[in-house]
Structure 1
Amino acid sequence: MRHRMEGIIAACGFASGHRVVVGHWARSPVGPMSDVMWADPDGARTLFAPTHAVAAFVTAVYDFDRVEVGALDVSGDERGVEVSIRDGARTVHMGAGPGWHIPPSRRPAALTRWVEAPIARALMGVHTYGVTPRGVREWYQATTWRPVTSARATLAGRDLGVRAAVDPPCRFGFSEPPPRPSITAVRPLLEDPSGRLDRILAERRD
């Protein structure tokens, strides 16, 4: 079974070496949701999820060293996002400037794999099709891209520095966000040939 998502991915690095990828989804297999993938300067990868259902879904697709389930507040849209994790223990702000629309908004998966993929690699250094560490096939269909023009993040009250490239790679999945901090409106499509993802989602609905 193929599962559709629709929302935004906001990604930014900071001078301290922290890299943050925020997913804010109006549509997902577990309903509207948000998640934050956080890579520390030493490479440790943490998923912050608001519920166990969201954590189970995301970890069925991507790899992490740590998973934390708890208070997570994400608001915004493709023009900017605000994040508070554990009532302000970690905060993130990203604001985006004008970007460009990527038509058409709805297109076949084969077009994303065979036509968009080489263009995206050449222009943005990103992969729009691949297989995640958990064996899930994924198509990233971006509809709007905007550069991040303002960003700030804190950890336990400490400022993490000015915005920087999302580099080195975060290693959450087969693809990395663009090195340039950005907010992208995107419609991912997921399919697990093994059926494992389908079973996890079915258990969560029971």
Structure 2
Amino acid sequence: MTARSRRAERFTGRIGAFGTGSGTRVVLGLWERSPFGAFADAMIEDARGHRTLLAPRAEVADFVAATYSFDEVRIVPLRVWRIRGGLAVGDGMHDAGGGAAPAFRARLLAGRLTPLGRVLRAVPSRLATSPAWLTAVDPVARILVPGVRTAGTAGGGRREYYGVTAVRSIVWAEAHLDGRDLGAFGPLAPPVRFGFGSAPASPALVDLTTTVTR
């Protein structure tokens, strides 16, 4: 057993989730601090239920694929750009002249803190991200935000905890996959099926720390 496998894995950053007119749902992970350094990934489920992971490096893909369920895993050099009022994620924001279109790109504009987001902001961060606290509040979270869980299994005998510290609405988003526009911005419906819980149906950008333990 390696040193990494014995300790808690903590990922701090943001998750943005939204739906599209094609029926494809997109969940973006924008991680500022993690055992793998800063990185971005994308989990995509299309209208047929096909689940794809886009990860920037093999070590990230291996960890995420061992934690969640996918039908396809692709290595794509995703980056994050800040744009006015929001964020852009992808392996290219513009097509190179005469070149191939980027494998993936998405842009989103964030709104204000939601009422729930303001409540969560008032909870001390150390408590809000504690596995013990997140286990205790999981039954309440399921009622307040259907489909959402704060604690559950991460596979391989591990547990995962989502400690959300802020929630902002997403007021607009767009995404392209392999040069194809995924369609108009919409709610995350039906729920995605990557792990033990989904993201809220209302598109949201959340600040959080995710902890994976054995």
CA contact (8 A) 1:96 1:146 kept: yes
2:199 corresponds in structure 1 to: 177
CA contact (8 A) 2:78 2:89 kept: yes
1:202 corresponds in structure 2 to: none
Q: CA–CA distance in 1 between the matches of 2:69 and 2:43?
A: 10
How far apart are residue 133 of structure 1 and its match?
4.2
Q: CA–CA distance in 2 between the matches of 1:188 and 1:152?
A: 25
Q: CA–CA distance in 2 between the matches of 1:118 and 1:76?
A: 35
Q: 2:181 aligns with which of 153, 159, 180?
A: 159
CA contact (8 A) 1:62 1:134 kept: no
Q: CA–CA distance in 2 between the matches of 1:36 and 1:119?
A: 28
Assess, with a 3 A threshold, how the Cα gap between structure 1 residues 95 and 135 changes in structure 2: closer, same or farther. farther
Q: How many residues align?
A: 190
Letter in 1 for 2:78: L
Identity %: 39
How far apart are residue 127 of structure 1 and its match?
0.5
1:2 corresponds in structure 2 to: 8
Alpha-carbon RMSD across the aligned residues, in angstroms, is: 1.9
CA contact (8 A) 1:20 1:37 kept: yes
Report the TM-score when normalising by structure 2: 0.82
Assess, with a 3 A threshold, how the Cα gap between structure 1 residues 156 and 30 changes in structure 2: closer, same or farther. closer
Q: 1:119 aligns with which of 131, 140, 146?
A: 140
How far apart are residue 157 of structure 1 and its match?
3.8
2:166 corresponds in structure 1 to: 144
Q: CA–CA distance in 1 between the matches of 2:194 and 2:33?
A: 21
Q: Summarize deviations over 1:27-75 as a string: whole Å, max 9, x none.
A: 1121211111111111111111111111111112111111111322223
Bigger CA drift: 40-49 or 154-163?
Answer: 154-163
1:200 corresponds in structure 2 to: none
Assess, with a 3 A threshold, how the Cα gap between structure 1 residues 146 and 49 changes in structure 2: closer, same or farther. same
How far apart are residue 104 of structure 1 and its match?
1.6
Gaps of 5+ in 1: 193-206
Report the TM-score when normalising by structure 1: 0.85
Please identify runs of 4+ aligned residues in structure 1 that moved more than 6 A: none
Gaps of 5+ in 2: 1-6, 93-100
1:97 corresponds in structure 2 to: 111
Assess, with a 3 A threshold, how the Cα gap between structure 1 residues 135 and 63 changes in structure 2: closer, same or farther. farther
CA contact (8 A) 2:111 2:171 kept: yes
Matched, 1:187 2:201: no
